[in-house]
Amino acid sequence: MKRLTLAAALLGATTLTVQAQEMALRGWNTHVPDYPVSIALDRFAEMVEERTEGRIQMENFHGATLGEGEFATEQLQLGALDYGVFSTAPMVNTVPELGLFSLPYAFRSPEHQFRVLEGPIGDEIAAAMNEANMEPLSWYASGTRSFYANTPLDSVEDLQGLKFRVQNSDINVAMVEALGANATPLPFGEVYTAIQSGVVDGAENNWPSYESTGHYEVAPYYIIDSHTIIPEGIFFALTTWDQISPEDQEIIREAAQGSAIYQRELWAEREAESRRIVEEAGVTIVEDVDSASFSDAMGPVYDRFVTDDTLRDMLDRIQATE
Ligand code: GTR
């Protein structure tokens, strides 16, 4: 009995020491500090530090100072980065299920995608991401992506033969090729110069990224074809996550979810604001788009990437999600 008590006391002491131990974590983000993602990620870090009473210290590195997205994604998967806000686009090659989230016109709206990610399919996605050393904690708004170029884009025909920068994923390349254009995968931070110097004719993104990067200055024709909604969220390296006590994991998960609610509010405001800024700067926006002419061309992308029964079944369930 005595021994047991002693053991229990020792165990208690060890737990206490572990809990009191400080962890210093590094967070990656590609965007400039006043972007909705960055502001919400800072809020996340503050909440974690406060609620863990300083047991966990968080340092966010904005503006891709720790490297561009493709590199940072690899670092996360290797456990060399602790956490950050990542786009799932460059993860498609390691987590095939995420490919479904890069398919053009697979989701009816950002809200539809949130319902999928926050429902049972989201649990399957998390399990698949765990296999690649990633733990998703919450999902941020990432808008709808459309094409823009340095030459007028009034219809799908205008894209033919042009060269577009895409995020680094085979699906994005296939999507652009299915539209009769050429795709060049490049890091996000290189797009402005690539358009300016004529390496590419354009790119594709949501309103806030189109505006915050200044891409609208060099590619002032934006066609709202709304081809993809690619998820982004706060992801931890599983190797880091596993070192955190269950109590602190709970605190961090809640903070991540709180920060996502905040980010979605900031996002809605910034989408409108960014559109206003680019319109005032004289960007030509084509709104009345024959979207069927875009989506009809995407058959080959689905044929090439939705290749096995597991993916086909998940896609059916995504499309059946209300
Ligand atoms: C943005 C997204 C970034 C990055 C970027 C890109 O919309 O927030 O994470 O993926 O697009 O085009 O590379």
29 lines ligand 1 (CB under 6 A): no
User: Each residue of 232-273: pLDDT tens digit?
Assistant: 999 999 999 999 999 999 999 999 999 999 999 999 999 999
Give 248-284 as a 3 state SS string: HHHHHHHHHHHHHHHHHHHHHHHHHHHHHHHHHCCCE
Q: Which protein residue's CA is at the shortest distance from atom 1 of ligand 1?
A: 209
Planar angle of CA 32, 126, 105, nearest 5 degrees = 70
User: Which residues, in sequence order, are bridge partners of residue 87?
Assistant: 232
* Domain 145-229+282-320, CATH: 3.40.190.170
Residue whose CA is closest, atom 6 of ligand 1?
Answer: 188
69 lines ligand 1 (CB under 6 A): yes
Query: In the structure encoding, which two tokens stand for residue 132, read together?
Result: 């690649």
Task: Report which ligand 1 atom has the smallest distance to the Cα of 143.
Answer: 7
For residue 30, how far is its CA from the centre of ligand 1 (angstroms)? 8
Q: In the prediction, which pLDDT does 20 show?
A: 56
- For residue 296 the two structure tokens come to 């009809």
Instruction: Give the model's pLDDT for residue 145.
Output: 98
Pair 152, 221: CB distance under 8 Å: yes
Distance from residue 214's CA to the centre of ligand 1 (Å): 14
Ligand 1 within 6 A of CB of 206: yes
The response to whether residue 87 sits with its C-beta less than 6 Å from ligand 1 reads: yes
Helices (H), 152-237: 170-178, 191-196, 207-212, 215-218
Strand ranges inside 71-195, DSSP E: 83-87, 134-140, 145-149, 163-166, 182-185
List the 145-149 sheet strands across, edge first: 182-185, 163-166, 202-205, 145-149, 221-228, 284-286
Q: Whose CA is nearest to atom 10 of ligand 1?
A: 87
Q: Closest ligand 1 atom, CA of 188?
A: 13
Dihedrals φ, ψ of 166, to 5°?
A: -130, 160
Check residue 4 and give its pLDDT: 42
Q: What is the pLDDT at residue 215?
A: 98
Instruction: Return the SS3 of 162.
Output: coil
CATH number, domain 2-142+230-272, options 3.40.50.2300, 3.90.660.10, 3.40.190.170, 3.40.190.10: 3.40.190.170
Query: Mapping DSSP to helix (H, G, I), strand (E, B) and coil, where does residue 28 land?
Result: strand
Span(s) in the chain for CATH 3.40.190.170: 2-142+230-272, 145-229+282-320
Pocket test for ligand 1, best of 32, 146, 167, 186 (most atoms within 8 A of CB): 167
In order of 35, 36, 94, the CA distances from 307 in angstroms are 37, 36, 15
CA of 87 to the centre of ligand 1 (A): 6
Q: In b/e form, how buried is each residue of 292-304, taking b as 16+ CB within 10 angstroms? A: eebeebbeebbee
pLDDT-flagged residues of the chain (< 50) = 1-18
CA distance 164 to 181: 7
Q: From the CA of 80, how far away is ligand 1's center (Å)? A: 21
Nearest residue (by CA) to ligand 1, atom 2, is 87
Tell me the Ramachandran region of residue 53: left when phi exceeds 0, alpha when psi lies from -120 to 50, beta otherwise: left
pTM reported for the whole predicted model: 0.93
211 CB near ligand 1 (under 6 Å) = no
**Ligand 1 contact, 172 CB (< 6 A):** no
In the DSSP assignment, the letter for residue 65 is T
Among 209, 216, 234, the mutation site with the greatest number of ligand 1 atoms within 8 A of its Cβ is 209
H or E stretch at 311 = helix 309-320
Substitution site in 188, 204, 232 for ligand 1 pocket (most atoms within 8 Å of beta carbon)? 188
